[in-house]
Chain A
Amino acid sequence: AQTVTQSQPEMSVQEAETVTLSCTYDTSESDYYLFWYKQPPSRQMILVIRQEAYKQQNATENRFSVNFQKAAKSFSLKISDSQLGDAAMYFCAYRSSLITQGGSEKLVFGKGTKLTVNP
């Protein structure tokens, strides 16, 4: 079974600074997808960024970017120019290819990292 590990339970960053959240995963599969979700106090999970394992290029979404190291099974999230609204729980998630999971979109989540943004 796949596992996702987020080794930083809590992180803090100053407003306008850059912060990197770590995520490692364990899998024997070669085709899969990785995601970062954000959960603010409102509780609604919001997709931040996604990465297909077959793509070597790191995904980028505005101030959010990832460092995907497939061989090392590492998938870190970098938040640039941090804003107060970035404060939330961040979850790293893994999804097998649909073929492997028989069509299922089941996500395996890490335990999360609580990000605090200081003004």
Chain B
Amino acid sequence: KAGVTQTPRYLIKTRGQQVTLSCSPISGHRSVSWYQQTPGQGLQFLFEYFSETQRNKGNFPGRFSGRQFSNSRSEMNVSTLELGDSALYLCASSLVLGANVLTFGAGSRLTVL
């Protein structure tokens, strides 16, 4: 059974550009959430989707957005990139809400120059 797949694994962007990251959950999983991991701030919750609806959103500026498609795949977008957006972006999925167990992907490493 395939795990949570995140693409791309690595990417480099320059300030002012935008980036889109993709997450394919485990087959059958309907809940997807995103986290940003940096050395300074640690792991911070970005947003969570269930059945194409945003269930919760973390304390991030409006430059960060996301969506979920009918097949449960999710994308997150960051516009007008800043140096501080350099981070590991982790996606996690779960079968249904309340499953208690999030399965994480290997992340997308974003470097902003």
Which A residues lie at the B interface, using CB under 8 A?
33, 37, 42-47, 50, 91, 95, 98, 101-112
User: Do B106 and A42 touch across chains, with their CB atoms under 8 A apart?
Assistant: yes
Q: State the B residues within 8 Å of A (CB).
A: 3, 31, 33, 35, 42-45, 48, 50, 55-56, 58, 88, 90, 92, 94, 97-107, 109
Q: Which of B43, B50, B100 meets A50, CB within 8 Å?
A: B100
The 8 closest A-B pairs by CB, nearest first: A45-B104, A104-B56, A109-B43, A44-B106, A111-B42, A106-B45, A98-B98, A43-B107
B42 & A104 in contact (Cβ 8 Å cutoff): no
Q: Report whether B104 and A44 are in contact in the complex, using a CB–CB cutoff of 8 Å.
A: yes
Contact B90–A105 (Cβ < 8 Å): no
What is the CA–CA distance of A39 and B45 in the complex, to the nearest angstrom? 17
**Given A47-B102, A91-B43, A98-B98: A104 in contact with B107 (beta carbons within 8 A):** no
Distance in angstroms between the alpha carbons of A102 and B43 in the assembled complex = 21
Q: Can you report 17 residue pairs joining A to B where beta carbons are below 8 Å apart? A: A33-B100, A50-B100, A98-B97, A101-B56, A104-B56, A104-B97, A105-B94, A105-B97, A105-B98, A105-B102, A106-B33, A107-B35, A107-B43, A107-B102, A109-B42, A109-B44, A110-B42
* Across-interface contacts of A91 in B (CB, < 8 A): 43
Interfacial chain A residues near B42, Cβ < 8 Å: 109-112
CB distance from A97 to the nearest CB of B (A): 9
For the complex formed, measure the closest distance between the CB of A61 and the CB atoms of chain B, giving whole angstroms.
Answer: 12
Report which residue of A43, A46, A95, A109 has the largest number of chain B beta carbons within 10 angstroms of its beta carbon.
A43
Given A33-B100, A47-B102, also A108-B45 (CB < 8 A): yes
**Hey, which chain B residues are within 8 Å of A107, CB to CB?**
35, 43, 45, 102
Which chain B positions have C-beta within 8 A of A101?
56
The docked-state distance in angstroms from the alpha carbon of A18 to that of B3 is 31
Instruction: Please report the C-alpha to C-alpha distance between residue A44 and residue B44 in the assembled complex, in whole angstroms.
Output: 16
Inter-chain contacts of A102 with B (CB < 8 A) = 55-56
Tell which of A50, A106, A110 touches B101, judged by Cβ atoms closer than 8 Å.
Answer: A50
Which residue on chain A has the smallest CB distance to residue B48? Answer: A104
**Is the Cβ of A105 less than 8 Å from the Cβ of B33?**
yes
Given contacts A106-B33, A108-B45, contact A45 B55 (CB under 8 A): no
